[in-house]
Structure 1
Amino acid sequence: MADHLPETLEPFFHRATEAEERLARLESALASTKIDTPDAELVEKITQIQSKLEEANETVKQEQKKVKELTTENEKQRYRIEHLVRSLKAADEKLAKISK
């Protein structure tokens, strides 16, 4: 197959072929490893920790969303209170003018 390749591509073809062979050996070695090894226990613990971390991150995101919603609602309430106070002051001033 490498016979019809230009000379400049032959080294790349050989390197790619060697890389594929190494990958195949690594994959077969990985497939043949036993699950009882201490490394497998470590991988399992890491997986559990990652899962808990993802759950915690999701909880943080939910809490941040709640905070944002509450902050928005708080701003709306402050706006309403401000206008109610202005209205009360205006009504008090009118009442004071009428009472004089």
Structure 2
Amino acid sequence: MAEAEKGSHIREETLKPFFQRASEAEERLSRLEAAVASKKDTGSEEHLKTISELQSKLESANAELVSERKKAGNLAAENAKLQYRIKHLVQAVEEADLKLEQAK
């Protein structure tokens, strides 16, 4: 049971930077949305330019978010595999120690 909790903690620590970057991207997006909402210009050309820039930044942020989530998923899968290997290696060492004890 303690190993499961430790594994969960390790996964959380591994994924923490990715979630932090996703949160930062969401904050940037909300600031951009607020900037658009606060603009009071009536120049449609300037609005179109701003909208175009914001759409570009949004697409970039979404692409980065998808990439980071994929990386997080890959790291979680790799972590699970490594934990499985560790579990069986520990079990093998314990069995070898037991056989060594019995041989004495």
Q: Tell me by how many angstroms 1:43 deviates.
A: 1.2
Identity percentage of aligned residues: 43
Aligned residues: 63
Of 51, 69, 90, which aligns to 1:85? 90
Q: Distance in 2 between matches of 1:38 and 1:67?
A: 43
Q: Which amino acid aligns with 2:74?
A: E
Task: Give the TM-score of the pair, scaled to structure 1.
Answer: 0.61
Q: Tell me by how many angstroms 1:40 deviates.
A: 1.2
Q: Tell me by how many angstroms 1:39 deviates.
A: 1.0
1:44-94 C-alpha deviation (Å, 9 max, x unpaired) = 101101110100100010010000001000000000000000000000000
Q: Distance in 2 between matches of 1:55 and 1:76?
A: 32
| 2:99 match | 94
Q: Which runs of 5+ in 1 are unaligned?
A: 1-36
Q: Which amino acid aligns with 1:71?
A: A
Structure with greater contact order relative to length (CA < 8 Å, sep ≥ 6)? 2
Q: Distance in 2 between matches of 1:92 and 1:52?
A: 58
Structure in which a larger fraction of residues adopt helix: 2
Q: Which runs of 5+ in 2 are unaligned?
A: 1-41
Q: Distance in 2 between matches of 1:39 and 1:52?
A: 20
1:13-45 C-alpha deviation (Å, 9 max, x unpaired) = xxxxxxxxxxxxxxxxxxxxxxxx711111110
| 1:60 match | 65
Q: Distance in 1 between matches of 2:63 and 2:97?
A: 51
Task: Give the TM-score of the pair, scaled to structure 2.
Answer: 0.59
Give the greater-gyration-radius structure (CA).
1
